[in-house]
Structure 1
């Protein structure tokens, strides 16, 4: 038996053939005694303590000096002492600095960190504009809901509208043309959002619960709408623009032509997220021309939709998934013609960092381009507008973070994987050339303790073709002759992907749970982001799916490769959308999932926030909202369930959980419930996480957890 265990340790660190050959008999279910589980809790607490400050040289925080030719950084040792280095950027020459006076001077001379470059304004936010005209001759004002222009010279007022009202159907959001000839404004039909309420039950110094409320727009609720008008100073005319009412988002940002202020562009997203347009307005007569019109039978992911206007050349950069992957397009705004697809292929642009209009270059992050690595790994790229000079600035196999010098001539490339410690390289921005390796993380102290790194794992999804990626955490003292229950940390929100990709230099909550005797996994199933459009579209009007067919297939494949995985005892936990998913696992897949802990779940998408739910579930609110609700399906509950909610949750209204509770009670279901006074949107905090561990120990290991009331 001892020989088998040794071989299995070799397997876990990279010798699978030895372990598989050694396992002659099927492992037996791991079911610890009460005394054994007490020891596991103590060991997990000990490991959380002893693993602190055991990973060194994992980060290079470059402090650039004036001129941009050199920088200094410091490494911190286990005893908190610091070692300082001065680096010459062009050559990578690294000098150890020990003189305290020189160190003090380096700190004094260091430049402020390079500011993050701003992105385009959010379409959810209105824009501010100066009331003073560009030529400084006029001031645009509203009085009693109507539009006036005041002369700076003599203070005289010119009234443009008379049908505005002070609080209802008023005019506002005024914006000047660059030549001061036109003023754009809107007749605004305001909508006051309804409130959601919660009670703080234990406020110090009070003897009564305190009622709180906040405006909260839910799916289907109306929006303030905007009718566009043009006010022409010459002739004092008012023209209603021949365009659709803007009844989704606020008044848009206006993009005027560089050499002809008669025309401007604005963007319109239709409610339901299935149509995006760029419209051009002729300010001389209020006529409208459609420059760009994108429609989708599913959804356009609005917050990942990027536009950048180039008025000097009458062009715009635009991202679209119209070919099945998110890519950048160059558009002629005079004709609406797509001049070229800047990026292309079976990979995607994750985010545009900056645009250099003079050099006609785009700096962006992308993933999936390198076929022999995890498709979620982010790399940094530069490409010209024509798309024929794509440079991968960060070629190393891993997930990358780039930190540029203030003049962007150099950058620090930090990359890692969940099971591969970080490397910090100094590179040249011009061509991505490696100058020197500054630091490789030292994890020897961590490895000496024996806590394993997470294991990446890939399996085919529901279609038998698509790769599904995830990670596994296993007990530090795993016994190859045993089978351990599985607990999935789930979050299937379509707004992103969630499986960690960077090396974690700390003892994670997942590892802490694993060391109690579980195989803890995290998976990105279909319906989450950062893959193809088809992969993402699975979520459309289908949030209850939550990628479960892919997750279940992944866990079963994991068990095929690792015999210590017990698929007869599977639980899951999550928070927010993950809380919705956790309960959904028991409602819709009780044949596989046996226990769940759901924290602050958005259990009914009609109760949750409008902007998130309409993006994925669509508009108008249809029957599918009700059909997929955990409240509607509460009577299907099988298995063991624990619900948590913070009473002061301002993200997901607490009544989302209480409505599930009421439905469970009406259906005679048994469950555990933990309300937490004063807590906001959370997984339950330290106490909630402790109770979550105890719950899985009780219901999957079938062992009594420590009794905290007697300090066991």
Structure 2
């Protein structure tokens, strides 16, 4: 996923083209989503209430009485701003975030802090800002609402780089973020932005909210393989110097304890000292191999001649960096020998820490191939044991389904696992490594843990499948005791829920919606979920402004029983007497599910549907957040992509919707979705007639290591070849359009060109669009790419051949 800052200008143009393309048509579904901001004391919160397309008011809600009122005198403030030469009206103020922590309202306008007491406006320095919290994992952008902005603040003394993550998860280079500077970026609600080093290392990722947000990034960088610190150890502590581990005693005497360190296998700088100060663990590591990928920038801005670009990019089967925890006796000033039998083939290790008695150091070992995940205990005697262990025949979804929490003052440890076939939480006794009890249990999954009350021995979690007779993927909040009793679903209402806690976690606001239902927001208590006050409601007719409601549909999958969920979007001029070709937007990446659940504009989907198609999105087997069995369909089998479920779903939908034409089905997608789209016409050509594949990882041996080994396994075996679009290129029977950016640093662009070569050798016709200077997702992030894809489907599914169309491939015609 790492991107290097290669050529900013072409990539910047790509990002700008997408954003400008969206802003051209004033958002057809204008909506300010409910977004509460709690007072630090927790007694109230404020939010912006939309009045019409261009008007809003700031409201405060008393969390005890439920009384709502304007947060300040809007007319008086607008008048005061106008006197300052700042254009404003009472329903259209030039800011979207207010600070209510003081007795008067504060805000920022054009970077300047101001305070209004109801009559006078004055300049102030201390304004509490809307600091955005970085995402735990990078996620695709969502079209969740209208325009907003993010102010990126770089507090480090070096230049950084900024990327926008599009709606299919593709990273588009946006531009530089100068050292010790700020940059205000105009974006859209739900869009995701990444800041990283200019060499491609990711520092943090944020999602833009309704209000202007501040994304701060500075000197502190956390390595995936463990945090490093350059702080010199105090007396009586271990430290690293010259590739070896040393100890300094109370008198200041320094003694070298290790002898095995070298420039090739150094020790990391972080030292994990035991609570009693008598022991320490330091990780020794062997760096990963070098694997360079080369790309030619054909049309650089600063010269006529092309440039060769080189990036470091590990692929499946390559040698990873290996960390090996080593134990040291600080009183004896020596290393304690320990066996590495239980962590001999790591993909990664993660620190857990010492037990309270300083008798054992613990860490998580993720075995290469991702079929074993264990907590390893390293005793001060040198003995090593498996404290907790999970094994799977297919894979362990370590990248999305890991959670640990130690209960202070006890040996209790919360561990997330799919050992019973569903993603649940378990309470372990770390002394003897046994399960005390399963905390959550049933045919639902735990998505994440909100927080744990260690004293009350309760936890709150986000789950899917918690409410019968609802869409399985609806997110709900629940509370449960650590002994597994007292499961209580706190959110009510048929829809997917989001919530925001009061500072003391005794109350929360609950907002829910669906693609076919407007948002509704209420205030609830955190114990039983009792509704205390209705805060805000939306109107679906107003939000849609004449557009047709997206339709939810569920039908059995390939096995005839498992519910498969999807949505159907009709064109705005829909005529039930006509038959429409179907276009599926596909992304079958096993890391998540992808069918929208909450109300959102669905802008790109509607643009395609309005051209004369029925647009569908479906989550088939092999995608995430259902049972382990459902997920395992993808194991060593990414070519499956849930196609049998998708086809069964479309057939079921068309059986009662005669306007859906199953003889004209197209599909498009980018990245993993690009692989899926091409696979549709290579492996399922009897059903899919046309496919547009953007920046596809068409052969999993060519793509990034971490994502592909997670699902395809290690070592690289025949399953990789079996899922390759390159090997299947000879099977092409329908129409295929391939798009690639020549500077794609997410997916090696040679992956697309190898499909081109295989199609050429097989004497197959195809369409190819290469974007000079383009990065990952050039088909979806450029105006040309989106237009060419739509023209492609109009030609092959509607019979509308574009006036200008350059075909590339065997037998191509102009």
SS of alignment partner, residue 350 of structure 2: coil
SS of alignment partner, residue 756 of structure 2: helix
The structural deviation recorded for 1:234 is 1.6
Aligned counterpart in structure 1 of residue 43 of structure 2, from 66, 69, 86: 69
Between the aligned partners of 1:52 and 1:252, the Cα distance in structure 2 is: 44
The structural deviation recorded for 1:62 is 2.1
Match of 1:255 in 2: 353
**CA 311–407 in structure 1, closer or farther in 2 if over 3 Å, else same:** closer
The structural deviation recorded for 1:333 is 0.5
The 5 Å alignment of 1:255-654 reads 255-258=353-356, 260-283=357-380, 285-303=381-399, 304-447=401-544, 449-504=545-600, 506=601, 508-654=603-749
| CA deviations over 1:648-699 (Å, ceiling 9, x no partner) | 2111111110111111111111111011122221151222111111100000
- Between 1:421-430 and 1:94-103, the stretch displaced more is 94-103
**CA 113–335 in structure 1, closer or farther in 2 if over 3 Å, else same:** farther
Match of 2:262 in 1: 165
Contact 2:264–2:286, Cα closer than 8 Å, also in 1? no
- Between 1:47-56 and 1:289-298, the stretch displaced more is 47-56
| CA deviations over 1:530-549 (Å, ceiling 9, x no partner) | 11111101111110111000
More helix per residue: 1
Contact 1:55–1:441, Cα closer than 8 Å, also in 2? no
Contact 1:139–1:149, Cα closer than 8 Å, also in 2? yes
| CA deviations over 1:247-274 (Å, ceiling 9, x no partner) | 434453142112x112122111111111
SS of alignment partner, residue 351 of structure 1: strand
- Between 1:311-320 and 1:603-612, the stretch displaced more is 311-320
The structural deviation recorded for 1:298 is 1.1
Contact 1:123–1:249, Cα closer than 8 Å, also in 2? no
SS of alignment partner, residue 611 of structure 1: helix
Query: What's the TM-score, normalizing by structure 2?
Result: 0.76
- Between 1:554-563 and 1:113-122, the stretch displaced more is 113-122
Between the aligned partners of 2:313 and 2:393, the Cα distance in structure 1 is: 28
The structural deviation recorded for 1:178 is 2.1
Between the aligned partners of 1:643 and 1:507, the Cα distance in structure 2 is: 24
The structural deviation recorded for 1:239 is 1.7
Between the aligned partners of 1:409 and 1:114, the Cα distance in structure 2 is: 22
Match of 2:193 in 1: none
SS of alignment partner, residue 346 of structure 2: coil
Between the aligned partners of 1:706 and 1:96, the Cα distance in structure 2 is: 56
Structure 1, unmatched stretches of 5+, are: 1-44
| CA deviations over 1:180-199 (Å, ceiling 9, x no partner) | 21121244332333111222
Between structure 1 and structure 2, the one with the greater Rg is 1
Match of 2:163 in 1: none
| CA deviations over 1:33-54 (Å, ceiling 9, x no partner) | xxxxxxxxxxxx9999777365
Match of 2:159 in 1: none
The 5 Å alignment of 1:108-119 reads none
Query: What's the TM-score, normalizing by structure 1?
Result: 0.87
Contact 1:226–1:247, Cα closer than 8 Å, also in 2? no
- Between 1:490-499 and 1:228-237, the stretch displaced more is 228-237
SS of alignment partner, residue 682 of structure 2: helix
Contact 2:222–2:228, Cα closer than 8 Å, also in 1? no
Between the aligned partners of 2:455 and 2:228, the Cα distance in structure 1 is: 27
Contact 1:468–1:523, Cα closer than 8 Å, also in 2? yes
Q: Does 1:217 align with 2:314?
A: yes
| CA deviations over 1:111-153 (Å, ceiling 9, x no partner) | 65588599799994313367566xx423433333222223464
Between the aligned partners of 2:679 and 2:608, the Cα distance in structure 1 is: 22
Count of residues in Structure 1 that have an aligned counterpart in Structure 2? 657
Match of 2:66 in 1: 92
Q: Does 1:126 align with 2:125?
A: no
The structural deviation recorded for 1:633 is 1.1
Between the aligned partners of 2:791 and 2:602, the Cα distance in structure 1 is: 19
Contact 2:347–2:369, Cα closer than 8 Å, also in 1? no
| CA deviations over 1:412-449 (Å, ceiling 9, x no partner) | 211100111111112222321111111111343455x4
Match of 1:658 in 2: 753
Match of 1:106 in 2: 105
**CA 191–305 in structure 1, closer or farther in 2 if over 3 Å, else same:** same
Aligned counterpart in structure 1 of residue 796 of structure 2, from 683, 696, 699: 699
Between the aligned partners of 1:648 and 1:361, the Cα distance in structure 2 is: 50
| CA deviations over 1:475-524 (Å, ceiling 9, x no partner) | 111122211111110111111100000101x3511111111111110000
SS of alignment partner, residue 720 of structure 2: helix
- Between 1:165-174 and 1:106-115, the stretch displaced more is 106-115
**CA 683–470 in structure 1, closer or farther in 2 if over 3 Å, else same:** farther
CA RMSD of aligned residues (A): 2.7
The structural deviation recorded for 1:643 is 0.3
Between the aligned partners of 1:645 and 1:518, the Cα distance in structure 2 is: 25
The structural deviation recorded for 1:620 is 0.9
The 5 Å alignment of 1:115-154 reads 124-128=224-228, 136-151=234-249, 153-154=251-252
Between the aligned partners of 2:44 and 2:368, the Cα distance in structure 1 is: 51
- Between 1:45-54 and 1:677-686, the stretch displaced more is 45-54
Q: Does 1:81 align with 2:55?
A: yes
**CA 190–85 in structure 1, closer or farther in 2 if over 3 Å, else same:** closer
The structural deviation recorded for 1:300 is 0.9
**CA 630–233 in structure 1, closer or farther in 2 if over 3 Å, else same:** same
Contact 2:237–2:277, Cα closer than 8 Å, also in 1? no
Aligned counterpart in structure 1 of residue 339 of structure 2, from 234, 238, 242: 242
**CA 624–594 in structure 1, closer or farther in 2 if over 3 Å, else same:** same
The structural deviation recorded for 1:309 is 2.1
**CA 437–50 in structure 1, closer or farther in 2 if over 3 Å, else same:** farther
**CA 476–47 in structure 1, closer or farther in 2 if over 3 Å, else same:** farther
- Between 1:98-107 and 1:391-400, the stretch displaced more is 98-107
Match of 1:22 in 2: none
Relative contact order: is structure 1 or structure 2 higher (C-alpha 8 Å, sep ≥ 6)? 1
**CA 69–620 in structure 1, closer or farther in 2 if over 3 Å, else same:** same
Match of 1:227 in 2: 324
**CA 545–590 in structure 1, closer or farther in 2 if over 3 Å, else same:** same
Between the aligned partners of 1:46 and 1:587, the Cα distance in structure 2 is: 32
Between the aligned partners of 1:296 and 1:194, the Cα distance in structure 2 is: 30
**CA 433–152 in structure 1, closer or farther in 2 if over 3 Å, else same:** same
The structural deviation recorded for 1:299 is 1.0
Contact 1:228–1:240, Cα closer than 8 Å, also in 2? no
Between the aligned partners of 2:752 and 2:740, the Cα distance in structure 1 is: 7
Match of 1:20 in 2: none
